[in-house]
Each structure stands twice: as structure tokens, then as C-alpha cells.
Amino acid sequence: MPLARRSLLSALAAGSAGAAVAGAATLAEGGPALGAGGGDTGARAAAAAARRLLPRHWHQFSFRTEGGRDTFTVSGEAGRLRIAGGTPGTQLTGLNWYLRHVADADVNWAGEQLDLPRILPGMPGGTAVTRRAGVPHRFALNDTNEGYTGPYHDWSYWERELDVLALHGYNQVLVTVGADALYHRVFQEFGYGEEELRAWLPGPAHQPWWLLQNMASFPTSAAFREPVSAQLLDARAALGRRLADRLRALGMVPVLPGYFGTVPPGFAARNRGARTVPQGTWMGFDRPDWLDPRTDLFARVAAAFYRVQGELFGASTHYKMDLLHEGGTAGDVPVGEAAKGVERALRRARPDAVWVLLGWRHNPPRAILDAVASGGPDGAAGRERLLVVDGLSDRFPTVTDREADWGGVPYAFGSIWNFGGHTTLGANTPDWARLYEAWRTKEGSALRGIALLPEAADNNPAAFALFSELPWHEGDLDLKAWFARWARSRYGAYDAHAEAAWDVLRRTAYGTTRADSWSEGADGLFGARPSLTARRAASWSPKELRYDAHEFERALDELLKVRPGLRESSAYRRDLLDVARQCLSNRSRALLPRIARACAARDVKAFDAASGDWLSLMDLLERLVGTDARHLLGRWTAQARAWGADEAERDRLQYDALSLLTVWGTRQGAEAGLRDYANREWAGLVGGLYRLRWSTYFTELRAALTEGRAPAAVDWYALEERWTRAPGRLATRPAGDVHRIAREVRERLRATA
């Protein structure tokens, strides 16, 4: 382990805030940054990020900190580009504007294209371009992001992720890494031993739901349950500090968890005067108790929480917390009074803080908003202490007046185009183009931002780029023109076939709307628990495709014809994989009825042909996704194992990470709907668990057909749990040529039409 990281871990574990800050600052610097002058520390931070992102061209940019926080200006001639902005983050947003609109390049969280000339072009006509964001809040990352995107990512991942978010204009990023270490330290001050607290904490993959007060202590099986290690907590605290410090260095806000009342078991018995409200269960898990926020003891715990949080991660101006999430109960505690207690504790520790809440289903309760808003004259000052990041802006047609829903509280227009990390492409982009600007500019609007909220990141690159551009776009958003320009910057030059492919995608997967009350596309049936009547893999996914599958397949034909000189980037390879994968996935919806008809007719020959096609397409899909490192299940499990203190913990962490994608949790939770919630078409899953399930099912169906009997029931949870605990050898390196395999996909689709 490098000396700097060892020193930081030691400082954090010992509670030395000064040493921790110094160590984290050293790590965040990343060495000297050029391309910026003198004492302009913001420009140096922007230049350092440019150097990381553009190692061969960064020196052709100079950065300068000036102007408003939400403004950038790009100017300059060939090889000497100048970017000014109010923060390092907005300077990087200016860099991204230049790359996309002048240099025909793309840096994205899913593939990039940087086939740039040795000398970069100057601004067209020698003119300067200035852009100002139309909203001050540009929030990124769902509460579930760490679990579904990669709970065991290290600094090398997060450093690039933060750079890319800055590049795309975000200035507020949710940081939950290390919250386990925070709770671990805080409750040692309230009668708990450090080891019993480590036993209360779930593994990192399931921590988002512990932070939401939905569950604790995963795995729950006594035979497989041991406390997480102190080493793991120290390492996560160190990583969380690095994230927070890097965000600050880039002029961005680390949005940290706030304290709203979660306590370990038996808290009232150990702390005189404590009043707790049992929260019951969530999807088969026991929920942590809730400490009444009206009480003096709540104030003491909250004070300790914010003090220790400051020592570990530094202070912030934005804190994320949601009371009574997804079925939590207030008991006899008035929700409005509870909200005042939570807000009062936050205000004592961080007088200027903004309380961030998720807009989701019945959240936030109006009682919370009204109670906090009443803190100022006519409610105006109190409302400004709140920000709702709306996850439903582009989902339900009935969501039309957030000012009325939330009493004028500022909110961010948000999208959850992805649930659980599904690999499905698509988004309701016509709604983004139609609603965002209309809601922002209407009389009395409380829209003050955007909120990037897919449940897992690093997918759907076109959706990421388009959504991120909303605050910076001037004039009406013409989607046809936008996607044509996207095809050019995504692959590096104009290509008629690339433009045609993306026009097909614009009209199909990216042409859906909230009219049907969905914001994500339908998942494929290869990942579904086997049934002849299966219509979706995840329990709460759409049951039908939201666009024409045959029309979508035309995009694959066009992408395969893109000229060879534009096929070398990771952007092209990623898009080709995604489209070919989705074509195969969609075909499962046409094949399953054929298998069902063969069974109904008791036609063994037809059954063998149709089920054989199904399994062979799964095998082809496994090979296709195996060409990309980010589609390897073995990579996911290897990352988890790397964090373990010993072999036993490495096994537990692998199970923590892998179970989230399969059974999710207990049998009760799986049967309640959580199993396959995070289904995804990855190598190792498709050819592993998913193929095992379907081949087992087809074997039993065929036996039943030939023997003239009903098929025997299969205990699917038992099969899934066995595989999750012992998945066998999983590839950690990609193999194969995506273009060649995508051509095979096209031919197989034609053969099975």
C-alpha cells in the first residue's frame, strides 16, 4: 500500500482530523498541474483534470478562474485554446463544449472518442463562445448508485468519474462512501462496542438501503455472517475523504448524508431518555429503529454525527436525507415536528446547509416541507433551505405542477432512466426536450436544477450527454439535430450510416415518452426467472417493449456499415455492443411465445428447435458482452474480493456484491420481488445463472412433454442461491472482436426471424 494512503488510513482510524485533511489534500493534488498561471488554484485544478483526460493535448489549453460560478467562456486559436469559468468545474464544462462542438470528440462515462489532430483547431471565425447555466443546482447520483454501479470501485474509478461529471456540468455529487465508518465511530459514544457495530453494518453493496433505513446486517445468515473488518471501514473512510476533497478542489459540492434518526438495535435500553420508534420490516429485512427527532437525545446524537463527519470528510453545504422512506412509520411522532427536529440539528451544526430530499412516490411528505419552510417570514427563507431532486419528472403524465405538489420548494428536474443497473438503452428524451424548459420558464417556477438519477451510472451514454446538456442549451432543443451532431462527435467525423443509426435510435429507444407511465425501457427475458408466460425479468419493469423492435434492428445494420476509420474508439465499440445486445435481448420476446406454442401443441420437434434457438442466442449474447471489460461479472466479483482483509471476508464481500444482482437478499425478499431487480446482460450472468435456469427449465419441460405429464416445480431461489455462493470461474478479461460478433448477431437475427 502506498505510504500516502497508509498515512491517511492511520489518521482516519485514529480520529486525527488535521492529519486526515493534510493527507487527503496531498492525494487530491495529483501532482503539479500546468496550463494555469500563478496563484489561480482553481485553474490549476481544471488543468490537472484536463491532463488526466487528455494526456496528449492538455497542454494546448489554458484555464482561468473568472466570471460567475455557472458561466464559462471558450476562445483561442489553433493549439492555444483559452477557457475561463467561475469554478474549475465550469471551466471543465467549457472544455467539454469545445471537444463536442469544435473538435468532434466525446468523453463520456460509457466509451470515449479522442481521435484528435496533433494541433487542436481554434474557435471557428476566431470568436469566443460564452454559456451560462440556466439553473444553479446540477445534482448527480441516485441513493442507490454505489450499490448498483459498483460498491467496490477504487480511487482510479472514482477519479475519472468525478472528472467526467465535472466535464458534463454537474456541481453537486452525492457521496455516501465511508458512511459506514462514520456511524461506526459515532455510536461508540452511545454505549456500543466497535465490533458489535461492525456486525450491524451491511457490506458495501447493500449499504444504500441501510442508509435509507430499510435494512441492516447483510448477509443475514448466521452461518455466513461476520462483522465487516476494521480495515474495510478505514479504507472506505479514506476513499470517501478523497472523493469529498476532490469535489471541493473542482469547485463542486460533495452532498453528504445527513442524520435523521437511524440507531442500532437496543438503543433506548442503553441510553436513558431515548425514545425510539420501531420501523418494522422492508422486503423481508428488519429495519433499524428510528430515534424521535424531537428529543434531546436526538440532538446529542446528531451533534456527534456532524462533528465526526466533519473530522472524517469535512463539512458541506448540502445534506441528503429522507425520513420514513418506502414504508417507514412515524408511530405517534408528528411528521412535521420530526422534520423540525431534524432540520434544527442540521442548522446547529451547519447553519447555511441545504437539506436535499428525493422526489419519489410519496416522498417527500408535504408535512416535512411545510414544517421546514415555516422557519422564515412567509415561508420563503425556509423553502430555500430545501432542495427536492425529483426522480419522477419524466415518468408519470400526472406529474405536472411541482410548485403545487411541494409548496414552492426549489426542485431539480430529474430522470431515472435505469433501475437496478439494467443494461437497457433508451430514455424519454422527447419529454426532456418539451418539459424542462417549459417548467423552468413558467410563471412562478420553482425549478432550480437538474438531477441525474439513474439507479446505476455508466450506461446509456447518449442519455447522459443529452440530459447533462439541458441547463447549458440555448433555444429550443431539436432532437433530430442533436442526435445527428451526437453521431458526429461520438465517432469523430460525419458518417451517413452513423447518423442514420442514431436517427433510428432517436425514434425508437430514445423516442419513448412518459405517456405510458414509464421512464425506463423493458428488460429482456433471458434474465427472467423461467416461465412460458414471462413478460419481464425484474418485478417492476415494463411488461412490453416501448418501441418497435424491428425498427430498432435497423440501427445495428447502419452501425455495422460505419466506415472502418471511425470504428477504433471505445465509444463506437460500446455503442455497437449495446445495440447488438439489445437486438438479441428484444428477440427473446418473440421466441418465448414460439416455445409456449410448441408446449401447448405437445410438439417435441418444434419445442427442440425453438428452445435450441433460445439457448444458442444466449450463448451468442454471452460472447458479445464478453468483449467488453465493463460487461464482465468476473470483474465485479474481483473488485469486491480486493477489499477483503482475509479470505473469509473476501468470500463474504463477493457474496455481498453478487447477491445484489441475483437473489438480492433473503428468500422472503426475493419472492417479494427483489430477485433479478438488478438483472443485467453481462458475461458470466448470461452464460452462468441465466443459462442455468433456462436450460434446467427446458430439460424439465421436454421430459414432461415426452412423458405426458405436468412439469415438476423447481425451487428457483434454492438454485439461484447455490449459484450465487459458488458461481464458478468467471472471466476477468474481455475476449473477442465486437464487430465480428455483432455481424454474427445480425445474421442470426435474420435466420431466426
Query: How far is CA 666 from each of CA 220, 338, 511, rounded to the nearest angstrom?
Result: 8, 32, 38
Cell match 486559436: residue?
A: 77
Where do the CATH 3.30.379.10 domains begin and end in the chain? 39-130
**For residues 623 and 254, what is the distance between their CA atoms, to the nearest angstrom?**
39
pLDDT at residue 325, as a whole number = 87
Where do the CATH 1.20.120.670 domains begin and end in the chain? 495-517+530-628+737-753
With a CB cutoff of 8 Å and minimum separation 6, the contacts of 482 are 466
**Which residue, 707, 709, 712, 705, is CA-closest to 603?**
705
pLDDT at residue 32, as a whole number = 37
Long-range contacts of 72-77 (CB under 8 A, 24+ apart): 72/97, 72/130, 72/131, 73/128, 73/129, 73/130, 74/98, 74/102, 74/123, 74/128, 74/129, 74/130, 75/123, 75/127, 75/128, 75/129, 76/122, 76/123, 77/122, 77/123, 77/126
pLDDT at residue 382, as a whole number = 85
Cell match 474509478: residue?
A: 157
Where do the CATH 3.20.20.80 domains begin and end in the chain? 137-477
3-state secondary structure of 273: coil
Backbone angles phi, psi at 134, to 5 degrees: -80, -5
What's the predicted TM-score (pTM) here?
Answer: 0.94
Instruction: Determine what percent of the chain is predicted with pLDDT higher than 90.
Output: 91
Query: Considering just the CA atoms, what is the radius of gyration of the chain in Å?
Result: 26
pLDDT at residue 36, as a whole number = 62
pLDDT at residue 18, as a whole number = 33
CATH fit for domain 495-517+530-628+737-753, picks 3.40.1080.10, 1.10.443.10, 1.10.10.10, 1.20.120.670: 1.20.120.670
Q: Could you tell me the three cell numbers for 226?
A: 461476520
CATH topology of domain 39-130: Chitobiase; domain 2 (3.30.379)
Question: Is the Cα dihedral 60, 63, 67, 71 positive or negative?
Answer: positive
**For residues 502 and 479, what is the distance between their CA atoms, to the nearest angstrom?**
11
Backbone angles phi, psi at 76, to 5 degrees: 120, 170
Cell match 476513499: residue?
A: 239
Return averaged pLDDT per consecutive 10 residues of the chain, 753 residues in all. 41 36 33 58 97 98 96 98 98 98 98 98 96 98 98 98 98 98 98 96 96 88 79 98 98 98 97 96 94 98 98 98 92 97 97 97 93 72 93 97 97 98 98 98 98 98 98 95 98 98 98 98 98 98 98 98 98 98 98 98 98 98 98 98 97 97 96 97 98 98 97 98 97 98 97 88
User: What is the three-state SS of 429-468?
Assistant: HHHHHHHHHHHHHCCCCCEEEEEECCCCCCCCHHHHHHHH
Give, in words, the CATH class of 137-477.
alpha beta
